[in-house]
Amino acid sequence: MDFSDVKKIAVIGSGDMGHGIVQVAAMAGYSVAMKDVKQEFLDRGMARIVESLDILLGKEKITAQDKEDVMARISATTDTAEAVRDAQIVIEAVPEIMDLKKSVFSEVSANAADDAILATNTSTMSITEISKAVNNPARFAGLHFFNPVNRMKPVEIIKGAETSNATADILFKFTEAIKKIPVVVLKDSPGFIFNRINAPNQTVLSAILDEGKIKPDELDTAMKMVGMPQGPYELADFVGLDVFVHTMKYYAETLSPEFKPGKYLTAKVEAGELGKKTGKGIYDWSSGKPVIDGSVMSQDITPMEMLAIQLNEAVRVFKEGIAASAADIDLIMVHGAKAMAGPFAMCAGMQPEQLVTSLDKLHQRFGLAIFKPEPEVADGSFKEMK
């Protein structure tokens, strides 16, 4: 199959990610079938697409005719065979449960065309493991969109152990066609690029909460002062502390036990205080927005420490061959975090001693080996990584 043959997309799942993928594909001119297990889920997904399009209409970014055309390209069904029939690309966007994903792809694989490309929107799980449910895993890959799909630009294209170059190439072109920014992940590794590089930051955020010396407001205010649209604790609440903790547990199992979530976050999840979606998490969200004291700012743990952690892990990702280049790493980090620059570019003008001092401080304070400086950070040779 050539990319020019791609006319119909099937999306399995109509939740936060699924309906967003449906919308952007339909807006790019593709015929899209959205499948879910219940009609009520489909109705909710369709309503959210309409709501999103109405916002664009109100801002005069699309016309009433554009909206009508987009909706005409979308169909909804509870039948997998109907959804994937004649589809050239099938994208799964169901909850992050390995057995569920394998079950979905077993059914999709049995009903889709033999040359249809099958992709999972997982943000962390092994592409190679999921592909075991698919006949001809050469046509299988990861296609990790960022939330919210209709606004976030980056997409990670992850190659599993058997993913063919042709499959990755078609997905790359498809991602460009729907006006996203693709970055190829060469190796199927936990967290891929973006989430893997942020994993140690999650660990230090958890350790700070357990230590109790710095208020979340203080660090969030400091991060916003350097241009971050949201502080890290606000973002954790926004995404959901259950997601945050689930991700840390996964990294603890697959990368290092040091990623295990701490007592503070674990207690929050056990108490059902998950952040924005429950009205309370690290912050009070009862008014719809977090109550954050912006008058205080951390002078202890600062943006410098957070940046040093990110660069250190970015160097590891580069050395492990997960990304094709330092430029690709910076690209996904800029667009995924809405940052001014990626870690390599941000640190290019810094002295290695600054970075090492920050990392050593965290290593000694929290006793975690993941904060130990990589040799390339210590000697400055990370600046030569291209």
What pLDDT digit, counting tens, does each position of 283-314 carry?
A: 999 999 999 999 989 999 999 999 999 999 99
> Does 53 fall in a domain?
yes
**How many domains are contained in the chain?**
1
Q: How confident is the model at residue 91 (pLDDT cuts 50, 70, 90)?
A: very high
Question: Across residues 82-103, what is the average pLDDT?
Answer: 96
Whether 339 shows a pLDDT value over 90: the answer reads: no
Question: Across residues 62-76, what is the average pLDDT?
Answer: 98
Torsion of CA 235, 239, 240, 246, to 10 degrees: -100
pLDDT value for 33: 98
DSSP H helical segments within the chain, as ranges?
A: 16-27, 39-58, 64-72, 80-84, 98-111, 127-130, 165-177, 194-211, 216-225, 232-239, 241-254, 263-270, 303-319, 326-337, 343-347, 352-366, 375-378
> Does 342 fall in a domain?
no
Q: How confident is the model at residue 195 (pLDDT cuts 50, 70, 90)?
A: very high
- 121, 189, 195, 198: the active-site residue: 195
pLDDT value for 56: 97
Q: How far is 156 from 322, CA to CA, in rounded Å?
A: 11
> Does 16 fall in a domain?
yes
- 14, 123, 131, 312: the active-site residue: 123
- 156, 273, 305, 376: the active-site residue: 156
- CA dihedral sign of residues 249, 252, 253, 254: positive
Clarify whether 335 is annotated catalytic. no
pTM score, whole prediction: 0.93
pLDDT value for 96: 86
Residues linked to residue 241 through DSSP beta bridges, in sequence order: none
Clarify whether 165 is annotated catalytic. no
The enclosing domain of 62 has a CATH number of: 3.40.50.720
> Does 356 fall in a domain?
no
Percent of the chain residues topping a pLDDT of 70: 100
Whether 163 shows a pLDDT value over 90: the answer reads: yes
Q: What are phi and psi of 272, to 5 degrees?
A: 75, 15
pLDDT value for 227: 83
> Does 63 fall in a domain?
yes
> Does 337 fall in a domain?
no
- Residue-wise pLDDT for 32-55, tens only, equals 999 999 999 999 999 999 999 999
- Its domain, for residue 178, covers 3-185
pLDDT value for 338: 86
> Does 75 fall in a domain?
yes
- 19, 92, 131, 144: the active-site residue: 144
